[in-house]
């Protein structure tokens, strides 16, 4: 009887291995697919992102500084006349009958500039004027970032048409207390001009008056 043990063990092992193979073969999917092979879509596809485009170098003009020497300037006529402090030596250029640009002679484009526009004929509130400005910026300019919005002010950055990084400050004034915006002021500059631009627009806005030295 002792010699039968190994023989029985070998037989049992052979039977077990055979049974396992048969079970594996029965469970294996042997079907052959049909159709044209196609890539499997990713579960969370990522939209290609373009790398940020570098800004063009700024003009190397000296920065716009705070505390510029100012003089009294006058724009408009009759009941639409406005007076305000303007930087001494800066020259004005009329873009339209109700819009003027102020610039220091000899400064490069995309350095710094101030623009003043009378918008009383548009019959809009200051809040609406800010909304319109933000919408126009986002539709017309690239890389717009609204840095700060106040009740009558806006601070933002954007990419100019020449690819320069521009820092801008805007103020709206209701000089006759009618609830409508009368004047729009903006100062554009480079990053190095930020301190001077903030100081300039604050002084111009705070010192602006209507015809006869009072409100419009």
| pLDDT at residue 17, rounded to an integer | 46
Rounded to whole angstroms, what are the CA distances from 148 to 110, 152, 201? 22, 11, 15
- The burial of 216, by beta-carbon neighbours within 10 Å (0-12 exposed, 13-18 middle, 19 or more buried), is given as buried
Model pLDDT, residue 206 = 97
The answer, yes or no, to whether residue 12 has pLDDT greater than 50, is: no
What is the pLDDT averaged over residues 6-27?
Answer: 45
pLDDT surpasses 50 at 159: yes
Domains by residue range for the chain, with CATH:
72-213 (3.40.1000.10)
Question: Rounded to two decimals, what is the model's pTM?
Answer: 0.75
Using the predicted structure, report yes or no on whether residue 32 has a pLDDT greater than 80.
no
Interior angle at CA 80, CA 155 and CA 209, nearest 5: 60
Token pair of 54, please? 């570098």
Q: What are the pLDDT digits (tens) for 108-147?
A: 999 999 999 999 878 899 999 999 999 999 999 999 999 9
Per-residue tokens: 115: 């623009």
Q: 54: pLDDT confidence band, cut at 50, 70 and 90?
A: very high
Residue 29's pLDDT is what? 47
């Amino acid at each position: 009887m002792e010699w039968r043990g190994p023989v029985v063990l070998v037989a049992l092992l052979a039977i077990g291995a055979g049974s396992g193979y048969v079970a594996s073969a029965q469970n294996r999917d042997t079907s052959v697919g049909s159709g044209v092979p196609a890539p499997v879509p990713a579960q969370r596809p990522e939209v290609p992102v373009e790398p940020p485009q570098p800004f063009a170098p700024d003009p190397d003009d000296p920065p716009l500084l705070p505390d510029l020497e100012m003089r009294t300037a006058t724009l408009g006529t009759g009941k639409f006349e406005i007076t305000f402090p303007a930087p001494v030596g800066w020259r004005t250029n009329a873009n339209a009958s109700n819009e003027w640009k102020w610039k220091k002679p000899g400064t490069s484009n995309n350095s710094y500039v101030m623009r003043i526009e009378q918008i009383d004929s548009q019959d809009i509130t200051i809040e609406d004027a800010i909304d319109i400005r933000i919408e126009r910026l986002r539709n017309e300019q690239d890389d717009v970032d609204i840095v700060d919005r106040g009740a009558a002010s806006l601070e933002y950055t954007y990419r100019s048409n020449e690819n320069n990084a521009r820092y801008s400050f805007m103020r709206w004034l209701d000089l006759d207390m009618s609830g409508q915006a009368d004047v729009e002021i903006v100062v554009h500059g480079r990053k190095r001009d930020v301190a001077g631009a903030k100081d300039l627009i604050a002084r111009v806005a705070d010192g602006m008056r209507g015809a006869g030295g009072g409100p419009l």
